[in-house]
Amino acid sequence: MDCIFCKIIEGAIPSSKIYETDNVLVFRDIQPAAPVHALIIPKKHIASMNDAKDGDFALLGEVLAAAQHTAQELGVADSGYRLINNCGADGGQVVFHIHFHLLGGEKLGPLNA
Ligand code: 5GP
Ligand code: ZN
């Protein structure tokens, strides 16, 4: 499958890994938008929020648990952070393997700026 994040999971494309479980991988975004910018992904290929099935939401709960763990590990839990999922064209999704961005390490601007 021609999916860049699946290739990262397989190790075919290198990444800066932060945290890994049986079902979830966390790695640094190659083009960080904040001092802390991690990507949290399920190892199962789900293209987007629109493609998640009923049976995928336990796995997506594991993705959120990994995001919470990562915020602690990267030292932004207390200062705060933002979790973002871009879905589809208007959402600005570029990579169609579902992922959450964890952004922090600075005061982030308001969403309506
Ligand atoms: P999206 O716009 O789909 O929500 O975000 C995709 C993110 O993946 C972008 O922030 C982009 O910088 C990141 N990205 C794209 N290709 C790679 C890559 O090969 N390695 C890593 N670590 N991040 C990537
Ligand atoms: Zn994939």
pLDDT band at 7; cut points 50, 70, 90: very high
pLDDT at residue 8 is higher than 90: yes
For residue 4, which atom of ligand 1 is closest to its CA? 19
- 47 C-alpha to ligand 2 centroid (Å): 7
pLDDT band at 113; cut points 50, 70, 90: confident
The answer to ipTM > 0.90 is yes
User: What are the structural domain ranges in the chain?
Assistant: 4-104
pLDDT band at 1; cut points 50, 70, 90: confident
Active site residues per annotation: 99
**Mean pLDDT value across the chain:** 98
Q: Does domain 4-104 have CATH number 3.90.440.10?
A: no
Q: What is the pLDDT of residue 17?
A: 98
Comparison of pLDDT for 113 and 100, the residue scoring more: 100
**For residue range 22-63, what is the model confidence (pLDDT) as tens digits?**
999 999 999 999 999 999 999 999 999 999 999 999 999 999
Helix/strand/coil (H/E/C) assignment for every residue in the chain: CCCHHHHHHHCCCCCCEEEECCCEEEEECCCCCCCEEEEEEECCCCCCHHHCCHHHHHHHHHHHHHHHHHHHHCCCCCCCEEEECCCHHHHCCCCCCCCEEEEECCCCCCCCC
pTM summary value: 0.98
- 7 C-alpha to ligand 1 centroid (Å): 12
